[in-house]
Amino acid sequence: MGSFPEIRWEFIGEYVEKFIKWIDTTFEGFFDFIHLISSQTINGISGFLNFIPWWLFLIIIFLLGWRFKSVLSGVLYAFFIFLIGTFGLWDVLMITIAIVLTSVLISLIIGIPLGVWMAFSKGFSIVMRPILDAMQTMPSFVYLIPAIFFFSLGNVSAVFATLIYALPPVIRLTELAIRNVDKDVIESAQSFGSSRWQMLTKVQLPQALPTIMAGVNQTTMMALAMVVIASMVGAKGLGEQVLIAINRIDMALGFEAGISIVFLAIIIDRLTSGVASSFQKHRGSE
């Protein structure tokens, strides 16, 4: 009675393993297609960013900060990026931005339509909510296992793991935004004979855009939060430098790579929140 009885459910593990292998074999072509698209997107964005001269990239960051925040913010953001370059981490910064942008783009392509679907279908919303809860509460390290199994090591595995972790916010906030559109506005559009598609594209989505942009902000920040974890499956970039610093117990490299991630997180957070605020102001002025 002093110890818990040994009850093993080994057959469950066997069924799970067989199911995963069946998915891998049956949808091998689909996973190859996803791998090709993701890798080409990452390489394309990274190549484009590296093609831009460093001084032009700083000017772009300054202009974005000026446009969506203030002149002082633009100068500060450009200075942060300049500091990362002085650490000798310019190339890996471009790779990190490419991985984050690819993950966010795929998340938006998948997440916004799913959020709209959940807003229009109560049954689909009921099914999706526990799935989204599991995606958000599951330890992020667990996502690395199927990522390695389906896509092997590399940046594509990092995008897959990041996608699972970063997808729920944009889905939830898109659903919330569509559901919270003013009923009077919807009734007015219906009285003018708007079709369901016109209602969505010309009334509901424009009204919901500020909240959706808040979801984009959260998804982007969560994608950036996976940078270090994703380096464990072979992802390049700043996260890899942090992992190298841990293995070598290199305090200097760890500080430089870590503070670079902090700088990048501040810039992305402020710019995306600035975009959301500009949409909110534009909506309020209408």
The string of pLDDT tens digits covering residues 120-137 is 888 888 998 998 888 888
What percent of the chain is predicted at pLDDT more than 90? 15
Any idea which of 68-72, 115-119, 178-182, 200-204 has the lowest mean pLDDT?
A: 200-204
Tokens of 226: 């996976």
> Residues 219, 269: contact at Cβ < 8 Å?
no
What is the rounded average pLDDT of the residues 183-193?
Answer: 75
Closest CA to 164 of 116, 200, 131, 190: 131
Residue 162, pLDDT score: 85
Cβ atoms < 10 Å from Cβ of 125: 18
Tokens of 69: 């925040």
Band the pLDDT of 283: cuts 50, 70, 90: low
> Residues 104, 166: contact at Cβ < 8 Å?
yes
Average pLDDT over the chain, rounded to an integer: 84
pLDDT tops 70 at residue 220? yes
CATH topology of domain 10-51+87-285: MetI-like fold (1.10.3720)
pLDDT tops 70 at residue 103? yes
Residue 76, pLDDT score: 93
What is the rounded average pLDDT of the residues 28-52?
Answer: 85
> Residues 114, 171: contact at Cβ < 8 Å?
yes
Residue 8, pLDDT score: 65
The residue among 194 and 87 whose pLDDT is bigger is 87
What is the rounded average pLDDT of the residues 10-36?
Answer: 76
At 7, phi and psi to the nearest 5? -120, 115
Band the pLDDT of 10: cuts 50, 70, 90: low
What is the rounded average pLDDT of the residues 190-205?
Answer: 77
Band the pLDDT of 55: cuts 50, 70, 90: very high
Band the pLDDT of 281: cuts 50, 70, 90: low
pLDDT tops 60 at residue 66? yes
What DSSP state is assigned to residue 181? S
Residue 284, pLDDT score: 53
Please state, in angstroms and as integers, the Cα–Cα distance from residue 222 to each residue in 63, 101, 268, following that order: 25, 12, 11
Amino acid at 286: E
Taking the CA atoms of residue 68, residue 224, residue 242 and residue 252 in that order, the dihedral angle to the nearest 10 degrees is: 20
Closest CA to 143 of 221, 232, 219: 232
Residue 272, pLDDT score: 83
pLDDT tops 70 at residue 32? yes
Cβ atoms < 10 Å from Cβ of 83: 14
Closest CA to 147 of 104, 103, 114: 103
Please state, in angstroms and as integers, the Cα–Cα distance from residue 29 to each residue in 23, 43, 143, 257, following that order: 11, 21, 21, 37
Burial of 280 (0-12, 13-18, 19+ CB in 10 A): middle
pLDDT tops 90 at residue 80? yes
The residue among 24 and 176 whose pLDDT is bigger is 176
pLDDT tops 70 at residue 285? no
Three-class SS state of 153: coil
pLDDT tops 70 at residue 255? yes
What DSSP state is assigned to residue 204? I
What percent of the chain is predicted at pLDDT more than 70? 93
pLDDT tops 80 at residue 187? no
Rounded CA gap, 73 and 58, in Å? 13
What DSSP state is assigned to residue 200? I
Residue 75, pLDDT score: 93
